[in-house]
Amino acid sequence: MESRKPTNEELDAIGAELDALRNEVLDDLGESDAAHIRRIVRLARASAIAGRAMIGLGIDPASFVVGVAALSLAKILENMEIGHNVMHGQYDWMNDSTLDSRTYEWDNVCDSSQWRHYHNYEHHTFTNVLGLDRDVGYGLIRVSSEQHWTTKHLFQPINNVALALLFQWGVGLHDMDPVRVMFGRTDSKEAEERRAEFPRKWRQFLRKAGRQLAKDYVLFPLLTPWNAPRVLLANLMANGIRNVWTNVIIFCGHFPEGTQVFTRDEIEGESRGHWYWRQLLGSANIEGSSWFHVMTGHLSHQIEHHLFPDLPAWRYPRIAERVRDLCEQYGIPYNTGSLAEQYGSVLGRVFRFAIPPSLASLLPGLSAT
């Protein structure tokens, strides 16, 4: 589809239509939404208990493999369909203290209060705005020609693999902005603010990460001491599987070919409709089955999530067709594809933007970098 920027009148109309769609869903929230999230919580808990029992009490390879799979499933469901969505406030209306966005703490080394700051506020407010949304490449990976190339980007294919394997640690350190704290200019107000709040956030991170490490690598191995090495290895593998899956889904929602970045000047005086338009251009969907969508925390509908981050995510598939129709009406690209297509596109950009622009301009097909 040929893309064009809507007029201001069209942006106002887009804002009004999407606000109306959001209000329509809000007015319909009820027992089915509560039943869904409680069903997923029960499933995650049952999967964790079954997995840990097979890992801790089993002695054969089959129970180890199935146990790791069950524990990985539990961690993925807890982090994505439960933790991520609960901390967005999607279920605050239930007045259930166990699903309260302000107090929920997830199975992840990242402190939930830090996640809510950099993700809910920074990322969802300034989506894909260079210099304001630090999720654009996570400070490691150049994903757009608008990002300045430096020597570190030569290594981003390797860094991308390391980030995927250790994703929860990257997420856990992200809000502290350690690169800016260590290397930011002394006359930079933003760097000074990061340095001032670093000690408090560092202590929060150490407390949360320490609890997670003690749980997975001390407590559970000691509960079945005759199987301690097996339990430790299984927890390491389950955390690694969750890390890679989460990384792949999030990258597919933000960095495939066609997603766009913006400058600070472009959001000056931004209207509600313009904010919606930026979310539509800055995110992408992944096609799949209903179960696949649950396994992604419904971040397979990243476009709808960025439009309505506080609506229960399992509603996204039901409103996606209307969002897509609106995009077609106003000539706005609706970026969607299979998991293989979207992640293949992401990897292509990781490799392409690793190349220095001066060299890329000499290579056929890479002149745009």
Among 11, 67, 1, CA closest to 266: 11
Q: Find the DSSP H helices in 101-188.
A: 112-115, 124-125, 156-165, 167-174, 178-183
Tracing tokens 């166990």 back to the chain, one arrives at 98
pTM for this model (two decimals): 0.93
| Cα Rg of the chain (Å, integer) | 21
Cα angle at 128 between 288 and 138, to 5 degrees?
85
Tracing tokens 């402190």 back to the chain, one arrives at 111
For 262, the 3-state DSSP assignment is strand
pLDDT at residue 194, as a whole number: 82
Low-confidence ranges of the chain (pLDDT < 70): 1-3, 186, 364-369
Q: Which residues lie closer than 8 Å to 114 by C-beta, 6 or more apart?
A: 172, 174, 175, 176, 201, 204, 205
E strand intervals along the chain: 285-286, 336-337
Please write the tens of the pLDDT for every residue from 205-252: 999 999 999 999 999 999 999 999 999 999 999 999 999 999 999 999
pLDDT at residue 365, as a whole number: 62
The region, left, alpha or beta by phi > 0 then psi within -120 to 50, assigned to residue 139 is: left
Cα separation, 369 vs 365, in Å, equals 9
Cα separation, 168 vs 1, in Å, equals 36
pLDDT at residue 139, as a whole number: 84
The two tokens of residue 360 are: 């890329």
Tracing tokens 């040929």 back to the chain, one arrives at 2
Biggest CA–CA distance in the chain, Å, is 69
Element (H, E) at 189: helix 189-214
The two tokens of residue 168 are: 């929860």
Q: Which residues lie closer than 8 Å to 6 by C-beta, 6 or more apart?
A: 14, 273, 277, 330, 331, 332
pLDDT at residue 364, as a whole number: 63
Cα angle at 131 between 127 and 137, to 5 degrees?
70
Cα separation, 368 vs 356, in Å, equals 11
Cα separation, 203 vs 181, in Å, equals 15
Phi, psi of 336 (to 5 degrees): -145, 155
pLDDT at residue 367, as a whole number: 55
